[in-house]
Amino acid sequence: MSEDNHLPGNNDGGSLFRLTRRSFLSKTSLFLASLGALSLESALNYASSANSGDFSFAFIEGVHLSSGIPDNVKLLAESQLFLQNALKTVSEQSVDFVLFGGDQVESPGRDDTFWQLFIDVVQVLNCPWYFVFGEQDITGAAPVDRMRTYGPDLKGRGMEPKDGGPECYWSLDPVPGVHLVGLDSARANSNAGFIKQAQLDWLKKDLRENKGKLTIAVSHHPLLPPPPYDSGPPWEEFIVEQGAQVREVLGASRDVRLVLSGHVGINKIQKERDIWYVSCPSLTVYPCQFKIFRVKSDGILVETYQITYEALVKKAKRELSSSRVAFQYSSRKPLSFLKVVEGEELDRNVFLPFAPGALPLKAPKKKKAPKQKASKTSTEKKKPSSASPQKTNNKPQTAPVDSAGNGIEKLNVPAETGKETGNN
């Protein structure tokens, strides 16, 4: 993407954007004028938090890594294959860090075998990686102690848990001038997320102590539920009960620009108080996708990638089509749920401006890499390159979609309505 397409910033040696009040005002005047009712104050607030350099990161959610567990709506038997496939693409894209959005494993496994396998597989990454908890990470045959199972890997990655637990929420600066907040919304054996007052208090304090940094927050459960999970029973079972309170804290900050979530597997981007809320798909539930975020001085380019195993993506699609959640969405037209999880193109490949009041912009077409055959999505009948973002495809049966394993998984599907689903 050309820098000319975006809001200003002086690219200082190609590394750091150093936005001064003067350069910001001069270079953005035309753009701001086009937005109409933007105040000078809000524009400067944007500038104050856009003081980091360009960086990129991958967000992978709902890996559900396991071994010896048969497929349901989640392709558990193929979970290791899917993770390795995604990490290959991520490594090719040379991101600055990888963020796992919860449900890394279907459970830690006996003697934490699944989690140890996860640790082994991600060793291929050539960048730092971080994670938050989903309910599957802390649900097992026996009670799962977060710190006993995950403590060494939390601290080993710089994610020092706050307030002594049992919830493990943390914050760190993955690159200079950027603040990353990992919330812990997971409860064992529960589809619903929960955030206690102590975590809210810590969040307020943490944001106050890190003013001026471009801030990204992540929670496994959606704080701003995407449709249909915003429509009350039975969908509300899968959201964070305190979502509104958390959004109030995040929205009061001038630095928070992006909030990521998974769990429900819906490809959806929403905006509230100039914060972009991005609901992301699961890796092992159709449409078997993950995202890469490329953060610029003026906004965020979102790219959605799909697992490159066409036959397995089709299998995942069949599983979701016959799942209980699809029939719950529409008993007469369960296939219509596929389009919901796939989202629109502006939910998958899009530029999200930081400017107050700005709308999402269609992502520019990427130049084809030399000496590389053009790739198409699985829906376009050809196997996509692992290094190419999922192209727009309006055909429901083939379009890239987010898969929300979480909401699906814990629904016990009646035999007469559909197959059993699995949690994300």
- Interface residue list for Fe ion (CB under 5 A): 103, 134, 263, 406, 424
DSSP conformation letters of 369-381: PTT------GGGT
Q: Residue written as tokens 């719950």?
A: 328
Q: Cα(38)–Cα(43) distance, rounded to whole angstroms?
A: 7
- Residues 53/22, Cβ–Cβ less than 8 Å: no
User: Which 8-state DSSP code applies to residue 422?
Assistant: -
Closer of 171 and 424 to Fe ion (Cβ): 424
Q: Cα(299)–Cα(353) distance, rounded to whole angstroms?
A: 4
Half-sphere exposure of 135 (CA within 13 A, CB side): 25
Backbone angles phi, psi at 169, to 5 degrees: -110, 150
353-388 burial, b if ≥16 CB within 10 A, otherwise e?
bbbbebebeebeeeeeeeeeeebbbbbeeeebbbbb
* Long-range CB pairs of 333-336, under 8 A, 24+ apart, other chains included: 334/418, 335/396
Q: Residue written as tokens 């106050």?
A: 208
- Residues 85/378, Cβ–Cβ less than 8 Å: no
Pairing assessment for the beta strands 350-353 and 268-272 based on DSSP bridges: unpaired
DSSP conformation letters of 111-163: GGHHHHHHHHHGGG-SS-EEE---GGGG-SSS---HHHHHHHHHHHTT---ST
Closest CB 115 distance from Fe ion, rounded Å: 16
Q: Which residues contact 252 (CB under 8 A, 6 or more apart)?
A: 207
